[in-house]
Amino acid sequence: MHNPQSYDLLVVGGGINGAGIARDAAGRGAKVLLCEKDDLASHTSSASTKLVHGGLRYLEHYEFRLVRESLIERERLLGMAPHIIWPLRFVLPHDKGLRPAWLLRLGLFMYDYIGGRKILPPTKTVNLRALPHADVLEERLVKGFEYSDCWVEDSRLVVLNAVDAAERGADVRTRTECTALTRDGDIWSATLTHADGAAETVTARAVVNAAGPWVDAVLGRAKPDDAHNNLRLVKGSHLVFPKLYDGDHCYIFQNKDNRIVFAIPYEGEFTLVGTTDQAFEGDPNGIDISAEESAYICDAINEYLATDVTPDGAIWSYAGVRPLYDDKSANNSTVTRDYVFELDAPAGEAPILSIFGGKITTYRKLAEHALHKLSKLGIVEAAPWTDGATLPGGDIDVHGWGTFVATMQSRYAWCPPAAMRRLCRAYGSLTAELIGDAADWAGMGQEFGAGLTEREIRFVIGKEFVKSADDVLWRRSKLGLHMTADQRAEVAEWFAQHQATIA
């Protein structure tokens, strides 16, 4: 009889927490299997506001440890992946009748200093009646504050963690669902079901349940006799408009319900606006923004913008659910964004560690904390290593981004500058590996539109677990936004023709 393949650690869930834990564990020498029922970052981890930030509003909820940890991690992550993470400046207008100016300034003073900021510039006061803000904001807004946070290509962050995990020996399987978990003494037996319906059994000394919105469902398979009601699903939705203003700065607008809404330059041609906080029940697959949420977002930013927007002006939207730990908070926007672990490790039996909550900014620290718990059970080595270890393509001087792009453009002078900037942003120092022996643009193969070439598609199939057109157009990139329907269909047709050769 065939013996099932055995692992030290089975990680269920290919979002940011699962990918980060798989990477950390593989780097410690553990034999790791990561399984994800869909593509990497298919759900919550690609539906964020795409910020690496401390969470300014969490200060109001006295979550000082979470804010401090997030601010420290913000600069760590910037140094680990400066191609997909970069600094942004946020303008926070003071609006009479909402939070007083002194409170905003005090909060930003704490934000500047409790995290040991070294790279990013500090807060400053700005005149909103001067350009570039005077033409964008309503006339009543006179004074504001400008502070620093960072942008992140969220789904690429997940993918690069998974790539690094695989390069360190992890077995990464997408389109593979963990459909059964049985504990047999000191070993877990797991049934993995593939997209074609075929199933296999593997064993593991420990399980990490990082299934996000499905964490309780996975717990139910592992411990069917117990009740599992730890999750509070909170839906967040975003709208994307044609560019609403010029400049690289972002806005953070206070809303009358004490929430905040961001307006952020997006993909060069657009403005990203969000987010919402709505209680969610039902199937977390395939979530769409509601008409109510679209109206809420537009109403919130219309309080500040000189020119109003309407939901039908948006060219794209996306939505996801945050799998937060239910701390019984009365308000969805005040429920903790901190992560919570539930470790089930009876004496002499195989452990399962379930993860609730968390945010992209703290994923690396979360992984370290999770593996610290497992190291005490002898599952992995104790020594952490990820602090300062760059992600694939991230070995670039955080202060030398412009120099890096200029050097690459000089080396490949035949590459259109817009295409080179995008490739550098997506792949960093691996751009040269992608280009390979191409001696001119024609050497990159068929172009599908928006600078996407067959060579790039083959690169991400070979290196980034890509199986479909949507993986490329909406998660490894946002090129789908820049292409026509016919161009997107052409990419899908290419995948249909080459399906047999895509592992």
CA Rg, the chain, in Å?
Answer: 23
* 457: its two tokens: 């598609």
Parent domain of 135: 86-152+232-324
Query: How many Å separate Cα 103 from the centre of its chain?
Result: 30
Q: Which runs of consecutive H residues, i.e. helices, occur in 44-115?
A: 64-80, 101-113
**360 plus 488 within the same structural domain:** no
CATH number of residue 180's parent domain: 3.50.50.60
Go through 39-77 and write b for each residue having 16 or more CB atoms within 10 A of its CB, e for each that does not.
bbbbbbbbbbbbbbbbbbbbbebebeebbebbbbbbbbb
The number of angstroms, rounded, from the C-alpha of 106 to the middle of its chain's C-alpha atoms is: 29
Q: For residues 180 and 275, which has the higher predicted lDDT (pLDDT)? A: 180
Site of tokens 């109510």: 292
Give yes or no: residues 132 and 242 share one domain.
yes
What are the pLDDT digits (tens) for 69-79? 888 999 999 99
**Dist CA 425 CA 439 (whole Å):** 21
pLDDT at 101: 83
Determine the average pLDDT of the residues in 447-472.
Answer: 97
Percent above pLDDT 70 for the chain: 97
Same domain, 448 and 474: yes
Q: Which residues of 459-497 are buried (b: 16+ CB within 10 A; e: fewer)?
A: bbbebbbbbbbbbbbbbbbbbbbbbeeebbebbeebbee
Q: CATH number of the domain that 457 lies in?
A: 1.10.8.870
CA 439 remoteness from chain centre: 34
Residue 166 has pLDDT above 60, yes or no: yes
Is 70 contained in some domain? no
Asked whether residue 254 falls in the same domain as residue 291, the answer is yes
Closest CA to 177 of 199, 196, 193, 198: 193
Peptide bond into 132 cis (omega under 30): yes
Q: Counting runs of H as helices and runs of E as strands, what totals does the chain give?
A: 13, 20
What predicted TM-score, i.e. pTM, was given to this entire model? 0.95
State whether 25 and 167 are in the same domain.
yes
Q: 170 phi and psi, to 5 degrees?
A: -70, 150
More confident residue, 425 or 326: 425
58 domain-assigned: no
What integer pLDDT is reported at residue 1 of this predicted model? 40
Query: Is 201 contained in some domain?
Result: yes
In this structure, the answer to whether residues 353 and 256 fall within a common structural domain is no
Rounded Cα–Cα distance for residues 30 and 204 (Å): 11
Q: What is the pLDDT of residues 67-108, one digit of tens each?
A: 888 889 999 999 999 999 999 999 999 988 778 887 888 888
Same domain, 345 and 300: no
Could you tell me if 374 and 30 are in contact, meaning their C-beta atoms sit under 8 angstroms apart?
A: no
- Are 479 and 431 members of one domain? yes
Q: Give first-to-last CA distance, the chain, whole Å.
A: 27
Least confident stretch, 11-15, 139-143, 222-226, 361-365: 222-226
Q: Domains in the chain: how many in total?
A: 3
Q: What angle do CA 367, 370, 373 make, to 5 degrees?
A: 150
DSSP per position, 236-299? EEEEEEE--SSSS-EEEEE-TTS-EEEEEEETTTEEEEE---EE--S--SS----HHHHHHHHH
Answer with the one of 281, 300, 324 that is the final residue of a domain.
324
We report the CATH number of the domain holding residue 112 as 3.30.9.10
pLDDT value at position 105? 85
Q: Poorest-confidence range of 8-12, 119-123, 237-241, 407-411?
A: 119-123
Q: Is the pLDDT of residue 421 over 90?
A: yes
Are 35 and 14 in contact by the 8 Å Cβ rule? The answer is yes
Residues 300 and 442 in one domain: no
User: What pLDDT, on a 0 to 100 scale, did the predictor assign at position 232?
Assistant: 86
Helix (H) or strand (E) holding 158: helix 154-167
Structure tokens at 189: 């037996």
Predicted confidence at residue 331, as pLDDT, reads 58
Strand-pairing partners, residue 187, are 184
Poorest-pLDDT segment among 60-64, 287-291, 334-338, 394-398: 334-338
Does 176 lie in the same domain as 289?
A: no
